[in-house]
């Protein structure tokens, strides 16, 4: 059964939702690797569960700087 998880992004402070399998969430919070417990979620969705960063903020945080950006 899927449950909806609400998360507030620590950067932009917007609330975002992910629907995830309840058994998979339980397995992950009990120590299972997230990619094993919740393989149906995208990499971005799994990262959002781990860090609470929304997809746009993930792009901002994880996009490497270019030479002219500093």
Cα torsion 17, 26, 39, 59: sign:
positive
Could you tell me the end-to-end alpha-carbon distance of the chain, in angstroms, rounded to an integer?
A: 47
pLDDT at 28 over 60: yes
Q: What is the pLDDT of residue 64?
A: 84
User: 35-62, pLDDT tens digit by residue?
Assistant: 999 999 999 999 999 999 999 999 999 9
pLDDT at 19 over 60: yes
Sequence-distant (6+) residues with CB within 8 A of 38 are: 20, 21, 24, 25, 28, 45, 46, 49
Segments making up each domain of the chain, as ranges = 2-69
User: What is the number of other CB atoms lying within 10 angstroms of the CB of residue 68?
Assistant: 5
Q: What is the rounded average pLDDT of the residues 3-21?
A: 97
Q: What is the pLDDT of residue 69?
A: 58
């Amino acid at each position: 059964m899927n449950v909806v998880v609400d998360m507030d992004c620590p950067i932009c402070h917007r609330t975002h939702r992910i629907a995830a399998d309840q058994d998979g969430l339980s397995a992950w919070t009990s120590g299972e690797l997230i990619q094993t417990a919740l393989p149906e979620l995208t990499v971005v969705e799994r990262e959002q569960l781990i860090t609470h960063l929304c997809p746009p903020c993930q792009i901002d945080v994880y996009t490497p700087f270019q030479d002219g950006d500093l």
